[in-house]
Amino acid sequence: MTTTTPGKTGTATTTGGVEVRHLAVNGCFEFTPPVFRDERGLFVSPLQQQAFTEVLGHPFPIAQTNHSRSARGVMRGVHFPATPPGQAKYVHCSRGRGLDVVVDIRLGSPTFGAWDTVEMDTETFRAVYIPDGVGHAFLALEDDTVMTYLVSTPYRADLEREIDPLDPELGLPWPKDMRFIFSQRDTGSLSLAEAKARGILPRYEDCLAAAEAHR
C-alpha cells in the first residue's frame, strides 16, 4: 500500500514502510527507512530492494560498495562519471552527519541546472539514489563522518570527472560559517561553463542508455 503526503521539494510517498521523496533533480530520490530502536541499540536497512524497485521499476544493481571517512568541513565533489559507461549511486551516512547534494549537469535533461540537498545522519538514515550522469557532492558536518556508497559499476579513476562545488553558476547552498577542506583533485576542478566548453558534461540520452545497460 502506498500513501502520499507533502514533501519538502517533491511528493513524499510511503512504500513498504520506507518514505520516498522525489528530489528536484529528475530521477533522484530520497529514501528514509524505518529505524527500530530498543535498549540494545537499533536496526535499520538503508537499502530495501522491494521499495526501490516499486519506485524505480527495477532493482538497484550493486557492483561495488565504497566507504569514505571525513573530518568536519571536508567537501567531496561535485563528482560525476564519464557516460558511457556511467555509474549510479545509492548513498547513506553510516556515522556522523553530512549534507548531500545532487546537481543535474546532464545536457538535455528536463531539470538541467537544478539541485537538491539531503541532510544525512544516523538518526534518520536517509539515503539518496543518484542516477547515471548526475553530479554528486558531500560536506561532512561532523568529524569522523562515514559515508557508504553502493555503486552500479566498478570504480575507475580515469573515468571520474569533477566540477567546482563553489562555482557561483551552480549556486549550491553550502554553510557560510565553515572552513572547507578540499582534496588536490577537487581544488583544481572546472567551473560548469568550463566543463561544458570542454565537452565533458554527460548527455541526458547517454545517461538513460547507460542506466538501461546496467540493469
Residue type, 132: D
58 is catalytic: no
Instruction: State the average pLDDT for the chain.
Output: 92
Catalytic residue among 79, 92, 136, 214: 79
Burial class (CB in 10 A: 0-12, 13-18, 19+), 199: exposed
How confident is the model over 41-63, as pLDDT tens digits? 999 999 999 999 999 999 999 99
Could you write out the DSSP letters of every residue in 74-143?
BEEEEEEE-TTT---EEEEEEESEEEEEEE---BT-TTTT-EEEEEEETTT--EEEE-TT-EEEEEESST
- The residue written with cell numbers 520516498 in the block is 20
149 is catalytic: yes
What is the set of domains in the chain, with CATH numbers?
Answer: 62-214 (2.60.120.10)
How confident is the model over 70-106, as pLDDT tens digits? 999 999 999 998 999 999 999 999 999 999 999 999 9
Is pTM beyond 0.85? Reply is yes
Residue type, 186: D
Catalytic residue among 136, 149, 204, 214: 149
Report CA torsion sign: 43, 49, 51, 56.
Answer: positive
